[in-house]
Structure 1
Amino acid sequence: VGAGAAGSRFVCMVSDFFYPNMGGVESHVYQLSQCLIERGHKVLVVTHAYGHRKGVRYLTNGLKVYYLPLKVMYNQSTATTLFHSLPLLRDIFVRERVTVVHAHSSFSAMAHDALFHAKTMGLRTVFTDHSLFGFADVSSVLTNKLLTVSLCDTNHIICVSYTSKENTVLRAALDPRIVSVIPNAVDPTDFTPDPSKRVDGTITIVVVSRLVYRKGIDLLSGIIPELCQKYPELHFLVGGEGPKRIILEEVRERYQLHDRVRLLGALEHQDVRNVLVQGHIFLNTSLTEAFCMAIVEAASCGLQVVSTKVGGIPEVLPENLIILCEPSVKSLCDGLEKAIAQLRSGTLPSPETVHNKVKTFYTWRNVAERTEKVYDRVSNEVVLPMDERLDRLMSHCGPVTGYIFALFAVLNFLFLAFLRWMTPDSIIDVAIDATGPKGAWTKQCFGGKKGGVKEELPRS
């Protein structure tokens, strides 16, 4: 199966995490897909159903999204038996003439399933790792072993920071030469400063984060009462939802800070900028982070950033735009007090100056160009035949895990052969291309309008 136009690819993005769920992976997949469409590639997204959002939908520029009826197990990730998703994914890959399967996130079971099935079908595979993991606890050991199996015969791996690359190479025992670093990005037109939204006579610290342990909400619960007692003009604006919200509510209740600590709950992506521009300082308390797009969005809105010095965060912004702290209440309080002192003395650069600097650092078009080079590279590589793939699994993944997954690979191959016998590739309808600059069918069906979500039109 070849690409449509010269140099173009038929790319399938696969992840459990996509809109309407909100987060860094979701935004990354969407923005990257849009830029690849602009560059003439056909791109589709495969994820699981979210509530009533099932079947096939179309987003901006004809981006086609398959919401598959797969059972969610935990934290928006699907349950997996490895084989149950093969009939659906195989039908999509054939119908859409996919040439490159690009999976996202170590936490996504669907991403690992898609990589496994794509290799069985002889397709090129790319994986983007968005997270950092440890090596000691049971959860990390099991995840790292799964990652070793999943990536040992994947054509190329992308990490969002050099710290993330080092972590992934160690976790999955990879050859560093097949791992590239391509950072996340921010659309600067979506995150512009507006100092008029700030309340005079107050200093507002903004936190936009999922309220979970990994984001350091326990640290935030110690920072709020200490600084509010010291600075009467200080206010906190917290956007996000999660199980740790109750801790912040307890702190607010215990110290009677209802008028100074606002908990906004879950935010839609289009509302994040409206929250950021109300603040003077952005606080990030994460305990682990591969990149952290939130601090780039905040800096683009002109806020002074104070953040924990963990993971890939020190690589993201220059020293004059961020105050780095150790992940402790005392260190973060010291960093915030430094930012407050700079704010009071007027030594901080203007929001417009900061925005003009940040918008040159990371752009999605640059990310798309670099990702395109990865696709070009893997398209020239030979897909491992089954015997070599089995040898790779058994030699690379250990005497027990390697042989178990080699058996799974053989069973998967036999299941695929059975599906091809039952429903040959030749009788699966080829989908009409609705993306890219020549998406005339999109214009015909949608009246040339961009944006919004559409159901797939029935085929005649």
Structure 2
Amino acid sequence: MRYNIAMISDYFFPQPGGVESHIYQLSSKLIDRGHKVIIITHAYKGRTGVRYLTNGLKVYHVPFFVIYRETTFPTVFSFFPIFRDIIIRERIEIVHGHGSLSSLCNEAILHGRTMGLRAVFTDHSLFGFADAGSILTNKLLKFTLSDVDHVICVSHTCKENTVLRASLDPLMVSVIPNAVVAENFRPLNYVEPSEDGQTGTRLPPINLLGPDDTITIVVISRLFYNKGTDLLIAAIPRILASHKHVRFIIAGSGPKAIDLEQMVERNVLQDRVEMLGPVRHEEVRDVMVRGQIYLHPSLTEAFGTVIVEAASCGLYVVCTQVGGIPEVLPARMTQFAKPEEDDLVAATGRAIAALRANKVRTERFHDQVKMMYSWTDVAARTERVYEGISGALPEEEFYGIHAAGAWTATRGRAGVQSFALMDRLKRYYGCGIWAGKLFCLCVVIDYLIFVALEMIYPRSGIDIAKDWPKKRIDGSPNRDKFASLNRSRSSRHRDKR
């Protein structure tokens, strides 16, 4: 089946990051599979209005006020009029939101359900349960996911975290990891494997490192506290003091960049620590191939796409053993460390020693990563979620025969969510003694706004956007598509006459 899908999040290009790359790559592969996909995000500097990306991917940059880390100011209801206009104009059937902290995502799922659309949410982050920020975020997530059709998490650890935070039935949550475009992250001297079974697989030449050869450690990250920048600041002087022929290349920006620069100046490490500042996503590979080790000191991480990209470039990965990171790469590609200064320094030392002793065959990493992660596979699995929530896939097949029966018995409903207002209010009312009543009030107001918009701005007054012309596999234009457009034009002319 062909679906019209709206990917909605505050986080998208030109801002670099894992969520941004995930949305773009998933959307592109879904378009390749025959679906229509648009992206709704806020306006960035120099990017406003409507833009078309590769393969007809349309991006709506909505002009909303940004308050912190590219997140828009939450207004709950003010996004509804323009959201409704876009949804009707593009004939959207499924709303797919990304990011727990994205205001546009949370509001779009609420409005989409009010308009009778199927809703999917993808969680890319991990949150705690003790601090005030996490408590408020978890309550907001519980509000959003009380009336969602299905949830996707990027790792099993992320699934456990999301199920606990939002009090979800685990059957409502699927695990679909991120992926990487391996062709865009090749090692510097990569040699394509031979397809001749007799000659076997060709491997790039092994770069043997001598005791006096320089080893470069690469760090590419947003310089925030949760990314372990304080841990990095403490570890770099100790690593460089213990290893004479080692240097660092650090790329990224954030509020901790000043602290990092002060550390470099205080320890007089300007000749051994190169700071590049922010880099574009298409420049990441060129930075990575300059090194032999990738250091990822994050304090919390649901998946960590950047470490997959680093391994694909042939780098040995040193990373903290937190969140979903241990699920991403096999042990032969990584050195794990506790999120502590001493253990991170020790793990980096073990990685340096392993490379100097040539115990790690990093030239094999690219082909292995290419076999493990594929955006085509991610798109196929996401498509199956769409089929499950729309009823195209039998409930027994989507959830499992025994699981579906247990779910219906415990939840009192089938896998497909009801759009009835009373059913929605029942789901929201169970979110808490006071929060449940507040959530129900928000839903009622949202429904009244929807009714008012239907009366003031009827659907008949909104122009329907033409779909991007598709191409056949052989590259020739789809004549059936153009023929249908011509027939619709001629019918409108006859109506005018």
Are residues 161 and 389 of structure 1, via their aligned partners in 2, closer, same or farther at CA, if it must alter by over 3 Å? same
Q: Could you say which residue in structure 1 is the equivalent of 2:421? A: 386
Superposed, which structure 2 residues align to 1:232-247 within 5 Å? 232-247=244-259
Shift of 1:195: 5.1
Superposed, which structure 2 residues align to 1:32-431 within 5 Å? 32-194=26-188, 201-351=213-363, 353-380=364-391, 381-395=416-430, 397-431=431-465
In structure 1, give the amino acid aligned to 2:304.
Answer: C
Q: Distance in 1 between matches of 2:111 and 2:181?
A: 33
Q: Distance in 2 between matches of 1:314 and 1:176?
A: 21
Shift of 1:435: 6.0
In structure 2, give the amino acid aligned to 1:279.
Answer: G
Q: What do residues 299-320 of structure 1 show as CA deviations (whole Å, max 9, x unaligned)? A: 0001000100000000000111
In structure 2, give the amino acid aligned to 1:141.
Answer: I
Q: What do residues 392-415 of structure 1 show as CA deviations (whole Å, max 9, x unaligned)? A: 1002x1121111111111111111
| Structure 1 residue runs without a partner (length 5+) | 1-6, 445-459
Q: Distance in 2 between matches of 1:382 and 1:22?
A: 35
Shift of 1:426: 2.2
Q: Distance in 1 between matches of 2:349 and 2:446?
A: 58
Q: Distance in 2 between matches of 1:111 and 1:412?
A: 15
Q: Distance in 2 between matches of 1:274 and 1:407?
A: 52
Q: Distance in 2 between matches of 1:129 and 1:17?
A: 13
Shift of 1:71: 1.1
Shift of 1:384: 2.6
SS in 1 for 2:40: strand
Aligned residues: 434
Moved over 2 A (4+): 198-201, 381-384, 435-439
Shift of 1:344: 0.9
Q: What do residues 240-269 of structure 1 show as CA deviations (whole Å, max 9, x unaligned)? A: 011111111111111111010001000100
Q: Distance in 2 between matches of 1:110 and 1:377?
A: 25
For the 8 Å contact 2:42–2:72, the answer to whether it is kept is yes
Q: Distance in 1 between matches of 2:215 and 2:455?
A: 68
For the 8 Å contact 1:72–1:78, the answer to whether it is kept is yes
Are residues 278 and 435 of structure 1, via their aligned partners in 2, closer, same or farther at CA, if it must alter by over 3 Å? farther
For the 8 Å contact 1:61–1:435, the answer to whether it is kept is no
In structure 1, give the amino acid aligned to 2:222.
Answer: R
In structure 2, give the amino acid aligned to 1:62.
Answer: G
SS in 2 for 1:184: coil
Q: Distance in 2 between matches of 1:289 and 1:16?
A: 19
Q: Could you say which residue in structure 1 is the equivalent of 2:396? A: none
What TM-score does the superposition give when structure 2 sets the normalisation length? 0.85
SS in 2 for 1:421: helix
Shift of 1:108: 0.2
Q: Distance in 1 between matches of 2:108 and 2:362?
A: 47
Are residues 215 and 163 of structure 1, via their aligned partners in 2, closer, same or farther at CA, if it must alter by over 3 Å? same
Greater gyration radius: 2
Are residues 127 and 436 of structure 1, via their aligned partners in 2, closer, same or farther at CA, if it must alter by over 3 Å? farther
For the 8 Å contact 2:149–2:417, the answer to whether it is kept is no
SS in 1 for 2:294: strand
Q: Distance in 2 between matches of 1:52 and 1:355?
A: 36
For the 8 Å contact 2:249–2:273, the answer to whether it is kept is yes
For the 8 Å contact 1:41–1:436, the answer to whether it is kept is no
What TM-score does the superposition give when structure 1 sets the normalisation length? 0.92
In structure 2, give the amino acid aligned to 1:386.
Answer: L
SS in 1 for 2:126: coil
Q: Distance in 1 between matches of 2:248 and 2:344?
A: 14
For the 8 Å contact 2:469–2:477, the answer to whether it is kept is no
Shift of 1:51: 1.7
For the 8 Å contact 1:39–1:436, the answer to whether it is kept is no
Q: What do residues 269-298 of structure 1 show as CA deviations (whole Å, max 9, x unaligned)? A: 010000000101000000000000011000
Shift of 1:347: 1.3
SS in 1 for 2:354: helix
In structure 2, give the amino acid aligned to 1:327.
Answer: P
Shift of 1:222: 1.2
Q: Distance in 2 between matches of 1:158 and 1:435?
A: 30
